[in-house]
Amino acid sequence: MTTSPPAPRTPTIAARATELSKVYGQGDTRVVALDRVSVGFGQSQFTAIMGPSGSGKSTLMHCVAGLDSFSSGSVRVGDVELGALTDRQLTKLRRDKVGFIFQAFNLLPTLTALENITLPMDLAGRTPDKEWLDSVIQMVGLSGRLTHRPAQLSGGQQQRVAVARALASQPEIVFGDEPTGNLDSRAGSEVLGFLRDSVRTLGQTVVMVTHDPVAAAYADRVVFLADGRIVDEMYEPTADAVRELMKSSDAPGFRTS
Ligand SMILES: Nc1ncnc2c1ncn2[C@@H]1O[C@H](COP(=O)(O)OP(=O)(O)O)[C@@H](O)[C@H]1O
Ligand SMILES: [Mg+2]
């Protein structure tokens, strides 16, 4: 009997940009924020996007997440082509298939932690899957804080609520733009640990913009942008390896900070 070698593991793609360009303004004020970017984000993978300020990180995230329109190329989330959608369909896709975590926690002050977590689903008229919700809440360690309001929680705890809110609806993909930018390093590493856990134990797909090599090291893969183009990528990054790559990069912005 012969045994064939294991097939190479190619992950299913949760979202993909193909030849994606985004141009702001025209004439003297024309800025090419994204210049024919092609990148796929593997399912159940944690990808970090890095690059100097102004390199197009937020624009890439916003376009792939359906938050912003693009000039040319295409974007696919799951099996849906975003370019073919009406505004209404885009809104529905963002609501049903995408989770967001921003630098500012964006919690509603009058709602409890639990109400904040389930708000997007409540607005969509969807009932949360109780088992999933429980495991998310347990993972981010909020079980004892569910009736607290944001003002009664620390910054780190508020961001944990925002992480749970993004995960609650079992979205196909979760995007974070500098999700630990407002946290001290201890709270930041907790939140990064939860994001990584959500990938490892819940199979979530996460894409995170960061400028911090330590944060990037939580990811499975780092994609580097400069001037609206992908200039490099790294698998199984360490903070040191990311720092080295940033130092050796030709992109001037990489050398600062
Ligand atoms: N609304 C906008 N109008 C005009 N230019 C913009 C706008 N948003 C971003 N840009 C420009 O697009 C480029 C990429 O921006 P951005 O994606 O925010 O970069 P990053 O997140 O990497 O700092 C920058 O040159 C920025 O000035
Ligand atoms: Mg940005």
Give the CATH number of the domain where residue 121 resides. 3.40.50.300
Nearest to 202 by CA among 121, 139, 113: 139
* Packing angle of the helix pair 185-202, 130-139 (nearest 10 deg): 140
* 177 C-alpha to ligand 2 centroid (Å): 7
Q: Does 33 contact ligand 1 (Cβ within 6 A)?
A: yes
Considering the domain boundaries, does residue 80 fall inside one?
yes
Domains contained in the chain, number: 1
How much is the mean pLDDT over the chain?
A: 91
1 in a structural domain: no
Percentage, residues of the chain above pLDDT 90: 78
Establish if 75 belongs to a structural domain.
Answer: yes
Which residue minimizes the CA distance to atom 16 of ligand 1?
56
Domain assignment of residue 40, yes or no: yes
Host H or E run for residue 32: strand 31-42
Domain presence at residue 206: yes
% residues pLDDT > 70 (the chain): 93
- Position 102 scores a pLDDT of 86
What pLDDT, on a 0 to 100 scale, did the predictor assign at position 247?
87
Those residues whose C-beta lies under 8 Å from the C-beta of residue 105, and which sit 6 or more positions away, are 150, 155, 158, 159, 161, 162, 182
How many whole angstroms separate alpha carbon 114 and alpha carbon 202?
Answer: 20
Examine residue 226 and state whether it is found in any structural domain, yes or no: yes
Ion ligand 2 residues within 5 Å by Cβ = 58
In a domain, residue 2? The reply is: no
What contacts 13, CB < 8 A, 6 or more positions away? 40, 41, 42, 43, 76
Protein residue whose Cα sits closest to atom 24 of ligand 1 = 54
Q: Is 25 in the pocket of ligand 1 (CB under 6 A)?
A: yes
Atom of ligand 1 nearest to the CA of 55: 22
Give Dmax (Cα) for the chain. 69
User: Could you identify the atom of ligand 1 that is nearest to the CA of residue 34?
Assistant: 14
pTM of this prediction? Answer: 0.90
> Is pLDDT above 70 for 251?
no
Mean pLDDT calculated for residue range 233-248: 94
Q: What is the pLDDT of residue 9?
A: 63
* Residues of the domain holding 231: 13-248
Angle at 57 between CA 29 and CA 69, to 5 degrees: 65
- The band of 103, judged by pLDDT with boundaries at 50, 70 and 90, is confident
Instruction: Assess if residue 183 is contained within a domain.
Output: yes
Using 50, 70 and 90 to split pLDDT, how confident is the model at 179? very high
